[in-house]
Each structure stands twice: as structure tokens, then as C-alpha cells.
Amino acid sequence: MEGSESEAIFESLNLNPQLFINEVLNCVDDLVDEAFTFFNQQASAVLKTDGTDRSDDLTKGVASIRNIIQSSLDKRLSMWEKYCIRHCFVVPEGFSLPKANGSSNDTSMDLDTVDDSELDKQLDSLRDKLILVGKESAQLNSEIQSLERQSDLINSSAASIHEALQLYEKHSMDDMLKELIKYSSEFHAKVDKLRSSRFEDIEHGRAERIHMLNGDISKVNRRFGLFNAKIEELQELLDDMNTG
């Protein structure tokens, strides 16, 4: 636009499009500064980082977020500035300023010379682009919501599985402990029973051998008889008598 016919016309009317654009950009920068200052204050209050080592970390984090947003915003504002200079602040062909000494009938600023159809086309094009952007934005929002729902579902499923595993592990350990207690009780019972049975057999044998020595041989089972007894058995019997 610099050095063009449009610039000359705007300057003759004491208008400066670039100054207007700069004012808008400065206003946006001020709004961003205020927004992130407020954001930092609120985050510090919520996280209670004032006077702690985390205060610097919070400031660095907010600065990083701002740099990302500022970079994207600067690119879009640069595109907006170029669009304004090339389209919004361009004088249509055939447009000229009125002469100071001319009559109203001879004015050069004839509105009929303005190509209204071209402006209408540009406006229609802008409307179509806005509609398209709106549809794309709605579609993106729908996809984001769908992803959020999927994320919530996955997190819920993971939590349920973790809880189920914990319950399984707990019940499994309880069942194993119960089985061990049961088997231990049965084992002790069998050992006690076997010990009692062995003790009864020993006592029964000793009683029969004592009766045999007292002459009551007729009541002794043949497997304990003296005539059928081995030398080792007789020796064992004598030892029992001596210790008894």
C-alpha cells in the first residue's frame, strides 16, 4: 500500500490505515498482557505458591503457555494486517477525490463509478469463508467432545479393572490363607490321631507281654507266644520288664 494511489487518497483525507492497524495490534497486546497477569495471579492464589520455591516454576510455566499462544496469535494478526492493507484499505478503481472548485454536478466522486458488484462479491466470499470456518469449528468441537468422552470411558474402565484386580488379589490371598489353615488343622488332627494310635499299640503290646510273663499265656495272641517268639523279641520283652 505504501506509495500507492490508495495511500495518497487516505493521506489527503488525513487518514492513516497503518496507524489504525498498529493501534489494534497494540490493543491486542495489552489485552494479552492483562489476561496472563490475571491468570498468573489466580493460579498463584489457587496453588498457594506465594513465597515458595514453586512461585518461579509457576511463572515459567505461565510464560511458556503465553509464548505458545502469542506465537499463534502473531501469525494470525499478521495475516489479518495483510488482508486489511490489500483489501479493506484499497480504493476501488475509478475513485477520485472531488475538486475544491468544482460544482456538485461536476464532482469526480461519483458513487456510480464504484464497482459495487466487486464489493458484493468480496463480501459474499467473506461470508462463505466465515460459514465454512464456523462449520469446521463446530466439527472440531464435536470431535474434541467425542475424544473427551472416550478418554473418560477409558479412565473409568482402567479404574474398574484396577479395583477388580485388587479385589481378586485380596480374595485370592484370603482363600489361600483359609486353605492353609484348613490343611494345617487336618494335618495336626491326623498327626495326633496317628500318635494316639501308635501309643495305644505300644501300650497294648506291653500289656500283653506282661500278662505273658505272669503265666496268662492263654490270653496272649499267638503272634506274641513264647514258643513262636524270636530271640530278639524275647530280649525286647526282658528289656521292657527291666525298665518297667
Q: ∠101-103-105 over CA atoms, to 5°?
A: 150
Sketch the domain layout of the chain as residue ranges: 1-95, 117-170, 171-212
Q: Cell 501300650 appears where?
A: 203
d(Cα 65, Cα 31) in Å, to the nearest integer? 15
> What pLDDT does 15 receive?
81
d(Cα 200, Cα 191) in Å, to the nearest integer? 14
Inter-CA distances, 223 with 145, 202, 214, 228, 236, Å: 93, 15, 17, 7, 15
* 244: number of Cβ within 10 Å: 8
Write down the pTM of the prediction: 0.37
Buried b (16+ CB within 10 A) or exposed e, 117-146: eeeeeeeeeeeeeeeeeeeeeeeeeeeeee
**Residues present in the chain in total:** 244
- One digit per residue, the tens of pLDDT, for the chain of length 244 reads 555 677 777 777 788 888 889 999 999 999 999 999 998 888 888 888 887 888 888 888 889 999 999 999 999 999 999 998 888 887 777 666 666 554 444 444 444 444 567 777 888 888 888 888 888 888 888 888 888 888 888 887 777 777 777 776 676 677 777 777 887 788 778 877 887 777 777 777 666 666 655 554 444 444 444 555 566 666 666 666 566 5
